[in-house]
Amino acid sequence: MEWTSEKINEVYAQVKEKAAQDPAFREKFCKDPVKTVEEFTGLAVPAGYSIQVIEKGDGIDAVYTNGELLSDEELDQVAGGSCGANACAAQGTGVNVNK
């Protein structure tokens, strides 16, 4: 099984739903998202990838990246651009999955 952008979106929707219904799971996901996703799916998160969880009131958001983040200067150069989740994933720059 390979982590595709579709698989990431599918797993994220499942994790988000479970986190909304299960406070203990949500807490675990917020503390150690990579380990929680690996246990939840039975799939290893590829080396170099990270998951950052952002709590928003009763919900959560997560940013999945492959470690190739842009610097502030690079972000300033591309500000105002457009990058859909699938395009970013296809380029290997990560996927930002929002609520």
Encode pLDDT of 10-51 as tens digits. Answer: 988 898 889 888 989 988 988 998 999 999 999 898 887 888
Higher pLDDT, 8 or 85: 8
**Strand, helix or coil at 63?**
strand
Domain that holds residue 83: 5-97
CA dihedral 5, 8, 14, 17 (to 10 degrees): -90
Q: What is the pLDDT of residue 96?
A: 43
How many structural domains is the chain composed of?
A: 1
Q: What is the pLDDT of residue 93?
A: 45
Q: Cα dist. 25→22, 48, 57, 59 in Å?
A: 5, 24, 16, 13
> The pTM is what?
0.59
